[in-house]
Amino acid sequence: MRWNQNPVLTVEHLTMRFGGLVAVGDLSFNVGRGDITALIGPNGAGKTTVFNCITGFYKPTEGRLTVRGDAGDTFLLERMPDFEISGTAHVARTFQNIRLFGGMTLLENLMVAQHRALMKASVFSIAGIFGLKGFRSAQAEALDRAKYWLDRVGLLARADDPAADLPYGAQRRLEIARAMCTRPQLLCLDEPAAGLNPRESAELNDLLLFIRKEHQVSLLLIEHDMSVVMEISDHVVVLDYGKKISDGSPDEVRNDPKVIAAYLGVDDDEVEAVEQEVGV
Ligand SMILES: Nc1ncnc2c1ncn2[C@@H]1O[C@H](COP(=O)(O)OP(=O)(O)OP(=O)(O)O)[C@@H](O)[C@H]1O
């Protein structure tokens, strides 16, 4: 499969235990470079836990998470603190429950996201902030990037409004813009279509396809909305009870009896009968 040839992320034997509970057990999969990969599964299957391990919120109990850059540079995520995962390995994320700075303006939210790059340009010093040409040009660049992404997500006219004033769908787009301001090579989106109406959901699909095509960013998304998953994903990985039960193209996964069984909550050998019953 294409995603096994030059993956941007390789997950190998990932296990995450919480006391006696195995939230993710011996999970392996690849995220293809330039692909949109969806991680799906019933509630409690372990999807968010996988994200939390990739982005450094949790340290995995076992396993290896390798990100490979275009130039062949390699990062072992399980050994990195979370700020390096975003700043050095260039992995960004959004959250299931939106986490913006509600009291800050849209523009401020996007500038804060670039704080680390700006501090680097200041050589981490007051003198740098006030005196260095490098800092001033980095600041101008950060501002341009913030404006570009506000425009891309259709929110430039509201740049000076507090983020909390935005309707829900717009807050979700702002979160994506904020993540893009960190210039990720891999963008992880936790249920980006949750709570969106059909029009907003279609706009989201266009935005994600644009990000992939124009910015060469690979995307990994957790999504319950199957219309989003089937329409824009190149590759789907299915979890159930922390284990991988299917891995393939959207069509392969859609027709996999194990997946249908997991979603309908029946045993594999009962799938045919249930399918006939519900008319799938
Ligand atoms: N910090 C934690 N401490 C203890 N148990 C946890 C923790 N985080 C997750 N779990 C458990 O791990 C399992 C997987 O949870 P997770 O949130 O990863 O599933 P999910 O597939 O993202 O579910 P959903 O679709 O409902 O968001 C669940 O049984 C959950 O209760």
Q: Of 119-128, 131-140, 210-219, where does mean pLDDT reach its minimum?
A: 119-128
CA 94 to ligand 1 center in whole angstroms: 17
pLDDT for the residue numbered 140: 84
Take atom 1 of ligand 1 and give the residue whose Cα is closest: 18
In tens, the pLDDT along 146-173 reads 999 999 999 999 989 999 999 988 999 9
| Together in a domain, 116 and 178 | yes
Same domain as 71, residue 11? yes
The answer to whether 192 and 94 have CB atoms below 8 angstroms apart is yes
In ligand 1, the atom with minimum distance to the C-alpha of 24 is 14
Whose alpha carbon is nearest atom 14 of ligand 1? Answer: 46
Q: Are residues 177 and 236 in the same domain?
A: no
The pTM assigned to this predicted structure is 0.87
Q: In the structure encoding, which two tokens stand for residue 31, read together? A: 């995220």
pLDDT for the residue numbered 115:
77
- pLDDT confidence tier of residue 263, bands split at 50, 70 and 90: confident
* pLDDT computed for residue 134 by the predictor: 67
Nearest CA to ligand 1 atom 3: 18
Q: Which residue has the higher pLDDT, 187 or 119?
A: 187
Report the share of the chain in percent with pLDDT over 90: 59
Q: What is the pLDDT of residues 69-121, one digit of tens each?
A: 988 899 999 999 888 888 889 999 987 777 888 888 999 999 887 877 766 66
Q: Are residues 49 and 124 in the same domain?
A: no
- Interval 31-78: pLDDT, tens: 999 999 999 998 899 999 999 999 999 999 999 999 999 888 999 999
Higher per-residue confidence, 112 vs 243: 243
Task: Give the position, in ligand 1's atom list, of the atom nearest the Cα of 45.
Answer: 21
Residues belonging to the chain: 280
* pLDDT value, residue 113: 78
Q: Which domain holds residue 173?
A: 100-182
The confidence score (pLDDT) of residue 261 equals 82
pLDDT of 278 reads: 47
List, chain by chain if needed, residues with CB within 6 Å of any ligand 1 atom: 18, 21, 23, 41, 43-49
- Is position 260 within any domain? no
Look up residue 80 and give its DSSP letter: S
Q: What is the pLDDT of residue 103?
A: 85
Pair (34, 156) in one structural domain: no
Mean pLDDT of the chain, nearest integer: 87
- Residue 65 resides in a domain: yes
Q: What is the pLDDT of residue 139?
A: 79
> What residues contact 4, with CB distance under 8 A and at least 6 apart?
30, 32
Distance 50 CA to ligand 1 centre (A): 9
The domain total for the chain is 2
The mean pLDDT of 182-200, rounded to a whole number, is 92
- Taking 80 as the threshold, does the pLDDT of residue 128 lie above it? no
Q: Which of 39, 47, 58, 94 to mutate to test the pocket of ligand 1 (most atoms within 8 A of CB)?
A: 47
User: Taking residues 242-271, what's their average pLDDT?
Assistant: 82
Q: Are residues 2 and 59 in the same domain?
A: yes
pLDDT at residue 274, as a whole number: 54
ipTM (interface predicted TM)? 0.95
DSSP E strands: which ranges in the chain? 7-18, 21-32, 36-40, 62-68, 74-76, 91-93, 186-190, 218-222, 235-240, 243-248
Instruction: With respect to residue 272, please indicate whether it lies within any of the assigned structural domains.
Output: no
Indicate the top mutation candidate among 14, 22, 48, 57 to test ligand 1's pocket, ranked by most ligand atoms within 8 A of CB.
48
Q: Strands 36-40, 235-240: parallel, antiparallel or unpaired by DSSP? A: parallel
Shared domain for 85 and 193, answered yes or no, is yes
Mean pLDDT of 8-13: 97
Asked if the structure places residue 222 within a domain, the reply is yes
Question: What's the gap in Å between 36 CA and the centre of ligand 1?
Answer: 23
Is residue 178 domain-shared with residue 188, that is, in the same domain? no
Ligand 1 atom index nearest CA of 50: 18
Residue 128 maps to a domain: yes
Residue that has been written with the tokens 């509600």 in this structure: 102
Instruction: Give the separation between CA 72 and CA 166, rounded to whole angstroms.
Output: 40
Q: What is d(CA 95, CA 179) in angstroms, rounded to the nearest whole number?
A: 10
Place 125 in a pLDDT band, splitting at 50, 70 and 90.
Answer: low
Does 269 fall in a domain? no
Q: Tell me, yes or no, whether 193 and 66 share the same domain.
A: yes
d(CA 257, CA 259): 5
